[in-house]
Amino acid sequence: MKPLNLITGETVGILLFFIGLYGLMTKKTIVKTIMSMSIMQAGIYLFYITINYSPDTVPPIGQSREAAFADPVPSALMITAIVIGIGVTAIGLTMFMHYKQQHGITHWSRNRNQQGSEH
């Protein structure tokens, strides 16, 4: 196998997923958490849209059948997942912005504030 064949959407997708995960494990800034999350999700999208794909297929649109149809399901799933991903990122950013404006905190804290049990 030539080394170039290794660089497919699937491998790159999985790699991106774990790069995002690395960011989540190591970065304490909340904004970087949100960015890493997006990278992770981008990896998943890339993985999905390349599975079950072979080069000589056509999109399943119209009636003509010159070649085999490509599998439309992963792309259809990913449209939904991308929409959800946008929503989730937006909600995450909203929460973060509110939190920062109200309390001025941008990092994940070390310990949970135990004030709740003491008053």
Q: Provide the token pair at 11.
A: 């491998």
Q: For 25, list phi and psi in degrees, rounded to 5.
A: -75, -30
Residue 16 sits in the site that holds other proteins (CB under 8 A) = no
Tokens of 51: 């599975």
Considering only 1-9, 59-67, 82-90, which stretch makes contact with other proteins by CB under 8 A?
Answer: 82-90
H/E stretch holding 4 reads none
CA distance 16 to 22: 10
Which chain residues interact with other proteins by CB under 8 A? 10, 14, 17, 21, 24-28, 30, 33, 37, 40-41, 43-44, 47-48, 51-52, 71, 73-74, 77, 80-81, 84, 87-88, 91-92, 95-96, 98-99, 102-103, 105, 108-119
